[in-house]
Amino acid sequence: MTINPGAAEFPHRQIASQIRAQVRRGDWAPGERLPSIPAIATNYGVAKQTVQRAVDQLRVEGVLITKPGSGTYVRGTKRRLNRLSRGRYGAYRGYHSDLAARYRQQLTEVGRAPAPAEVADAFGVADGVELVVRRHLVRTQDAAVEVGASWFRLADAAGTSLERHEAFGRPLYQEAEEVTGRRYVSATDSVSARQPSRDEAEVLQIRPDTPVLHLLHIAYDTAHKVIEVAQATWPGPMTTLTEEYKVPAPRES
């Protein structure tokens, strides 16, 4: 293991590049523990801080994971999620069986809460207006991969099943349609990257400086009035969002 001190690239980036290549070649398998930072520093002939910067870079990229008091490990395969809201509704307005097979959704909280800014903006109400919220956690077999919430106006949800802490034997949007008498006909999805909140980092078991992907989903009825505003947050380095769609053929002139 060597670095080129005369290269334009910083030493920690050279080290990160070499470790990344070793992981891709399979020199270290998913879940395998890397040598300690002092040992890697000795092998490269650099300071421990230089290796720590390389490890931090690879951790943010999702290549490595650090476990406090245990060490640095190669992260397992990236979780490829098809959880944009088109997948949530399913191809034929039914439960998306592929998602149900891979993910377990747990309802964590139901009640009334002040609307956060992005939710208030979507509904066109003032920040802090009380809404009904249903919070959830999605897990795979080995980890939490999503924290989320669905928000409804009190006028639509107060005193209904949407305000009770119970799971439904069908998708939430179908329950909301029956309760409100309004049909979901269109929606918009906005995905952004940001730093996690303290609670998000704790639940998703990521470091506070690990970026997350955040989805804001706004669902509309036939009059283009908002029925539901949903949020979902995923650990960025471990998540790939995919959408499959057809490209229309050129029109004949």
pLDDT computed for residue 204 by the predictor: 87
CB of 174 closer than 8 Å to CB of 150: no
The order of strands in the sheet holding 186-194 is: 104-114, 130-139, 144-152, 226-235, 212-220, 186-194
- For residue 110, what are the CA distances in angstroms to 32, 113, 120, 162, 184? 40, 9, 18, 8, 22
In the numeric block, which tokens belong to residue 144? Answer: 């939490």
In angstroms, the CA 205 to CA 75 distance is 13
Which DSSP symbol is given to 56?
H
Return the structure tokens found at 127.
Answer: 């920040």
User: In this predicted structure, what is the pLDDT of residue 67?
Assistant: 73
For CATH 1.10.10.10, the residue range(s) in the chain are: 11-74
More confidently predicted of 234 and 98: 234
Greater confidence (226 vs 58) lies with 226
The pLDDT score that the predictor gives to residue 132 is 98
Beta strand spans in the chain (E): 64-67, 71-74, 79-81, 104-114, 130-139, 144-152, 186-194, 212-220, 226-235, 239-241
Comparison of pLDDT for 138 and 181, the residue scoring more = 181
Q: Which residue has the higher pLDDT, 243 or 36?
A: 36
Q: Selecting from 3.40.50.150, 3.40.1410.10, 3.30.1370.140, 3.60.10.10, what CATH number does the domain 79-241 have?
A: 3.40.1410.10
Query: What average pLDDT does this structure show over 62-74?
Result: 80
What does the alpha-carbon distance between residue 138 and residue 143 come to, in Å, rounded to a whole number? 9
- Does the pLDDT at position 237 exceed 70? yes
Gap between the Cα atoms of 52 and 249, Å rounded:
51
Q: Per-residue pLDDT for 220 more than 90?
A: yes
Q: How far apart are CA 68 and CA 166, in angstroms?
A: 36
User: How far from the centroid of its chain's Cα atoms is residue 246's Cα?
Assistant: 25
**Angstrom distance (rounded) from CA 175 to CA 150:** 12
Go through 20-52 and write b for each residue having 16 or more CB atoms within 10 A of its CB, e for each that does not: beebeeeebeeeeebeebeebbeebebeeebbb
Instruction: Give the CATH class of 11-74.
Output: mainly alpha
Confidence of residue 94 (pLDDT cuts 50, 70, 90): very low
